[in-house]
Amino acid sequence: MTDRPAPRRVVVAGGGTAGWVTATALARQLGSLVEITLVESEEIGTIGVGESTIPTARAFHEFLKIDQQAFMRASRATFKLAISFENWARDGDRYLHSFGTMPMRTWMADFQHFWLEARARGEAGEIGQYYLEHEAARLHRMDLKGDPKLNYAYHLDASLYAKFLRRIAENDGVTRIEGKIANVERDGESGDIAALVLEDGTRLTGDLFIDCTGFRSLLLGQTLGTPFEDWGKWLPTNSAWATQSEGVGDAYPYTRAIAHGGGWQWRIPLQHRMGAGFVYASDHMEAQPALDQFLATLEGRPLRDPFPIRFRTGRHRQAWVGNCVGIGLAGGFVEPLESTTIHLIMIGITRLLQLFPFSPDCAAQRERFNELSQNEIERVRDFIILHYHLTERDDTSFWQYMRNLDVPDTLRERMEAFAQGAQAWQSTNEIFRVDSWIQVLLGQRMTPQGWNRVGALMKDGRLKQTMEDASRMVANRVATMQSHQQFIDSYCAPKEG
């Protein structure tokens, strides 16, 4: 019988969403195989803009056996079915990027080809009416029952979420230490991290160190000097003002992304407040005018003074160096337009669990982790660039710059394939589905020149009937749902007392 190995000592540097997601996942999945210590300081604030998720968060919670109602009550969460993009292709435009998938497809052609054929014949409506999540979001509806089921994500209070995860993690054996990191010691021979030294002199040794220190990237960036690949030429937005405000009216089941002259604003409806932010490019807009415009357009009374955030879009060349893994903002960041920040935290820790270094020699695991991390964050980058670049706006220097951008070849290939033949695809290790690419490309006013004509083979009104049946099914299903606010009130409002 093989003896159980000594637990691997894991030190998590930093709390917040990244730190506590990491600690909870490691404790829940590896149990006694690891000994986890998390160090954080109450004096160091967290960014707190990651209040919106994508549907992969649900699968991650199921993976960790987290009760959905308990989580939503604790973090004052609401449901999210889509993102509402406003003023992007043109000032005054609006479209929804919903989380649905359209089952009408064959091995030859995805749904957009049939829709484009029917549209050319005058036998189809707007593409959104065929997606259940699109119509439920548009009409502010929600439920968890019925068939087909809605594909949804969450809006959440990031601070309350971290506290919720902390309770789970500590109950599962994670040790939390309060304190600031004053020094990081490295091994003289290997160059690996040997210990974190806190301001009070406490020395934390470990086998694996996980950097969750946010944009500071204290371990991966500052200590190990891992090169940073800056994507500012493609995504020049590098600043934001953020606050929380009183909610106005019922909570709606989508995030609002509202473009303005120098960037965009977010609105994230929670049960108890609204999350709000104003993203801008400092080369095209100064801080004070940005703040003035933010406050002038804010819905509801601010609950705190707006605070500034500075960031760089890009990634460290390796997310795992030696015995240090960067998770979340410490490893890389793509601005929050499509709500991918929390996803990248969760997929990062999922990969680490799959490739966990139980032996000293883990070069192959490191290489694989870094390859997968690079591929995914670069695909996210391309999808975000698409929203800015595929625009007809030229009313400010910012939008003129974005229109004339020399985009990455990987994105140019996708745009040309859709423009010429309505082709879209989901690459390996990419989070955005074909349906996401379709909704955004069409929403940004790209009209394909052609498409797969397989739908033309459908005779005797069959294509028209199929489209009508699909639209009717969606409308009938949505009609059975409660309003989103009613459902939130009955399902996950905090219990009194």
Q: Where does the pLDDT of residue 105 fall: very low under 50, low under 70, confident under 90, or very high at 90 and above? A: confident
Burial (Cβ within 10 Å: 0-12, 13-18, ≥19) of residue 283: middle
Residues 454-465: tens digit of each pLDDT: 999 998 899 999
Alpha carbon of 426 to those of 35, 80, 82, 411: distances in Å?
38, 22, 19, 12
CA angle 377, 382, 387 (to 5 degrees): 130
Query: 21-30, 102-111, 176-185, 297-306: which has the minimum mean pLDDT?
Result: 102-111
Largest CA distance in the chain: 81
The pLDDT of residue 2 is: 54
Q: Where does the pLDDT of residue 345 fall: very low under 50, low under 70, confident under 90, or very high at 90 and above? A: very high
Stretch 56-65: mean pLDDT:
96
Contacts for 323 with CB less than 8 Å, ≥ 6 apart = 192, 193, 206, 207, 208, 209, 357
How many C-alpha atoms does 366 have within 13 Å on its Cβ side? 16
The pLDDT of residue 104 is: 82
Stretch 302-315: mean pLDDT:
94
Structural contact between residues 161 and 61, judged by C-beta atoms closer than 8 angstroms: no
SS3 content of the chain, % helix, strand, coil (to 5): 40, 20, 40
Residues 233-242: tens digit of each pLDDT: 999 999 999 9
267, pLDDT greater than 50: yes
Of residues 65, 80, 163, 180, which has the active-site annotation? 80
List, as one string, the DSSP characters of 5-26.
PPPEEEEEE--HHHHHHHHHHH
Residues 203 and 217: their CA atoms lie apart, in Å, by: 19
Q: Which residue ranges form the domains of the chain, and what is each CATH number?
A: 8-51+157-233+313-379 (3.50.50.60), 239-310 (no CATH)
**80: annotated active-site residue:** yes
Contacts for 240 with CB less than 8 Å, ≥ 6 apart = 49, 277, 278, 279, 280, 308, 309, 311
Please give the DSSP secondary-structure letter assigned to residue 403.
Answer: H
The pLDDT of residue 107 is: 84
Residues 6-53: tens digit of each pLDDT: 779 999 999 999 999 999 999 999 999 999 999 999 876 665 555 899
Residues 163-185: tens digit of each pLDDT: 999 999 999 999 999 999 999 99
The pLDDT of residue 103 is: 76
The pLDDT of residue 1 is: 44
